[in-house]
């Protein structure tokens, strides 16, 4: 089978490797699509000696069933989950493998076949095509978990920092949730334009406008009530605190690093949100369906596996020309 390998800095090759076979409790999946995630930044690093195949937003069709499996049959359409918990700890037992201290990240999406434990596969609705289906795990799961962990009121003035694919989905979901004032921020003008098309009420480019002053002016002088951030940059972090009002809440998806000048009187609630839990999958599908959200609006390109290097180049080197990019295995 064909599989993508990380062979050097900004370099992926497609080579012929052995097809895997499913062990007990596992399925062999014929991969149909896999989206490039904003976290696939390994691409810009040096490859290690035996770099495994990456890609964790995949979909496919059950090709073979391992011993003891009961959940799916050959030919079933599936969406893949990327976090495999130990199954024994309190977090795993509570249905939150994302908090498991021994979790493993499962990839293998950029190849023709891959093996998954049955706990890592969800059923894909028949009426959803495989391009859209590649957005049904990570891409919608992350912003919707953010919406659960930090619930906005309809009258809140809400900022979304970073308008890559997930930031744009956050904006669409906030809109669908009924939030009346949404302000989108990004340093790429094309993404601000896209945000306006998708329902942002105001957009700000922090490179050309002081974001703190602009947000305060749009929010009656005090600042935003809530902010959702996909930007990991110390200056942006400071600005997010300074542009929210006293008592506001901030939800981050990307971690924090750097040096901050944040005063002790900045009373804020900081909410951390990571990936999504398996139990949320069905609820997420219903949210998208009930609100008639067209996820393809954030797909900018579809590339075949053979052109994966070009796809990564476009995703990470040309943010003004790309949003979500989906790789197809056919």
- Report 56-95 residues binding Zn ion (CB under 5 A): 85-86, 89, 92
- Report 5-44 residues binding Zn ion (CB under 5 A): 37, 39
CB of 207 to Zn ion, least distance (A): 26
CB of 148 to Zn ion, least distance (A): 18
Count residues binding Zn ion (CB under 5 A): 8
* Minimum CB distance to Zn ion smaller for 34 or for 224: 34
* Minimum CB distance to Zn ion smaller for 75 or for 255: 255
CB of 87 to Zn ion, least distance (A): 6
CB of 327 to Zn ion, least distance (A): 14
* Minimum CB distance to Zn ion smaller for 141 or for 223: 141
Interaction mask 118-157, Zn ion, x per CB under 5 A? --------------------x-------------------
* Minimum CB distance to Zn ion smaller for 138 or for 156: 138
* Minimum CB distance to Zn ion smaller for 92 or for 160: 92
* Contact region with Zn ion (CB under 5 A), list: 99-107, 153-161, 200-208, 264-272: 99-107
* Minimum CB distance to Zn ion smaller for 92 or for 204: 92
CB of 137 to Zn ion, least distance (A): 8
What's the rounded Cα separation, in Å, for the pair 327 and 325?
7
* Minimum CB distance to Zn ion smaller for 274 or for 287: 274
CB of 41 to Zn ion, least distance (A): 10
CB 29, CB 116: distance < 8 Å: yes
CB of 223 to Zn ion, least distance (A): 30
Binding site for Zn ion (CB under 5 A): 37, 39, 85-86, 89, 92, 100, 138
């Amino acid at each position: 089978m064909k599989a993508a390998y990380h062979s050097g800095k900004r370099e992926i090759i497609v080579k012929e490797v052995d097809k895997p076979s499913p062990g007990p409790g596992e399925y062999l999946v014929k991969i149909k699509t896999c989206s490039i995630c904003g976290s696939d930044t390994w691409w810009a690093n040096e490859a290690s000696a035996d770099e495994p195949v990456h890609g964790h937003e995949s979909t496919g069709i059950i090709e073979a069933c391992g011993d003891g499996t009961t959940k799916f049959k050959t030919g079933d359409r599936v969406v893949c989950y990327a976090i495999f918990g130990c199954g024994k700890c309190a977090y795993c037992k509570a249905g939150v493998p994302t908090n498991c201290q021994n979790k493993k990240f499962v990839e293998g999406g950029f190849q023709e076949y891959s093996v998954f434990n049955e706990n890592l596969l969800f059923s894909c609705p028949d009426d959803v095509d495989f391009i859209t289906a590649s957005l049904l795990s990570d891409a919608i799961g992350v912003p919707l978990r953010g919406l659960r962990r930090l619930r906005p009121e309809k009258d809140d003035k809400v900022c979304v920092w970073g308008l890559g694919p997930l930031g744009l989905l956050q904006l669409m979901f906030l809109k669908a949730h009924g939030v009346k004032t949404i302000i989108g921020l990004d340093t790429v003008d094309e993404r601000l334009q896209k945000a306006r098309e998708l329902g942002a009420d105001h957009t700000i480019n922090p490179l050309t406008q002081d974001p703190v002053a602009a947000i305060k002016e749009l929010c009656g002088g005090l600042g935003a009530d809530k902010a959702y951030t996909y930007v990991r940059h110390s200056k942006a972090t400071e600005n997010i605190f300074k542009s929210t009002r006293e008592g506001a809440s901030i939800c981050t998806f990307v971690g924090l690093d750097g040096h901050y000048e944040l005063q002790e009187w900045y009373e804020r609630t900081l909410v951390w949100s990571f990936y999504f839990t398996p139990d949320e999958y069905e609820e997420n599908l219903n949210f998208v369906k009930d609100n008639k959200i067209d996820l393809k609006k954030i797909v900018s390109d579809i590339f075949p596996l053979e052109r994966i290097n070009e796809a990564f180049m476009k995703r990470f080197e040309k943010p003004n020309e790309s949003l979500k990019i989906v790789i197809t295995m056919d």
